[in-house]
Copies of this chain bind each other. A is one copy, B any other.
Amino acid sequence: MTDDPRWLSARELQAWMRLEAVAELLPAALDHQLQRDADLSHYDYLVLAKLSEAPDRTLRMSGLAASTNATLPRLSHVAARLEARGYLTRTRAEDDRRATLATLTEEGWRKVVATAPTHVAEVRRLVVDRLSPEQVVQLDAIALAVLGALDPENRLEAQNPVAGA
């Protein structure tokens, strides 16, 4: 490959390794809490939460996938399970029969309402309450900068290795 890798400085390396550790441990911790308290994965919760905030508590699958930073197949499987558990329903869209609309049920709504407080408390315990107000602002800016590279303006799409024209 290239001759000069431009290795990381000590500071950069340390920050990177700590971010790596957070990225590894944080999702697991959130999954654990939600699994224990609500029998939901973190992603399950995200799906229900996003629906609960949407107009008519309804979103298209593709939009829901984008707003939860997931691929469509993943959402499709998750939605199938959540539907089987009675938390949401899927229907074909009237205007575009290709599209599927996911709608939160009453039971799904109650699930979110019942789950949110403890989940937020956990988010506070693990992250927000450990940071100063300035650090919250800094984190916001840093995460935004990184997202710029992760999702180049492209609400998560593109699984093509080479250009598809």
- Given A140-B15, A141-B135, A2 and B126 contact (CB-CB distance below 8 Å): no
| Chain B residues in 8 Å Cβ range of A84 | none
Complex-state Cα separation, A161 to B132, whole angstroms: 30
Closest to A143 in B: B18
CB of A151 closer than 8 Å to a CB of B:
yes
Given known A123-B16, A142-B135, contact A117–B25 (CB-CB < 8 A): no
B-contact bits for A123-141, CB 8 A (1 contact / 0 none): 1111110110101111111
Q: List 28 A-B contacts (CB under 8 A).
A: A1-B117, A2-B118, A5-B116, A5-B165, A6-B121, A6-B124, A7-B163, A8-B120, A8-B128, A8-B161, A11-B136, A15-B128, A15-B140, A17-B157, A17-B159, A18-B140, A19-B26, A19-B127, A20-B69, A21-B69, A21-B150, A22-B143, A22-B146, A25-B150, A36-B161, A126-B150, A135-B142, A138-B139
Secondary structure of the A side of the interface? helix
Given A24-B69, A120-B6, A130:B149 Cβ within 8 A:
yes
Chain B residues with CB below 8 A from A7, complex form: 120, 161, 163-165
The CA-CA distance from A147 to B23 in the complex, in Å, is 10
The answer to whether A130 touches B116, judged by C-beta atoms less than 8 angstroms apart, is: no
A143 in contact with B70 (CB, 8 Å): no
**A148 and chain B: residue at smallest CB distance:** B130
CA distance A4 to B151 in the complex (A): 35
Which of A24, A146, A164: most chain B CB closer than 10 A? Answer: A146
Q: Are B5 and A120 in contact (CB under 8 A)?
A: yes
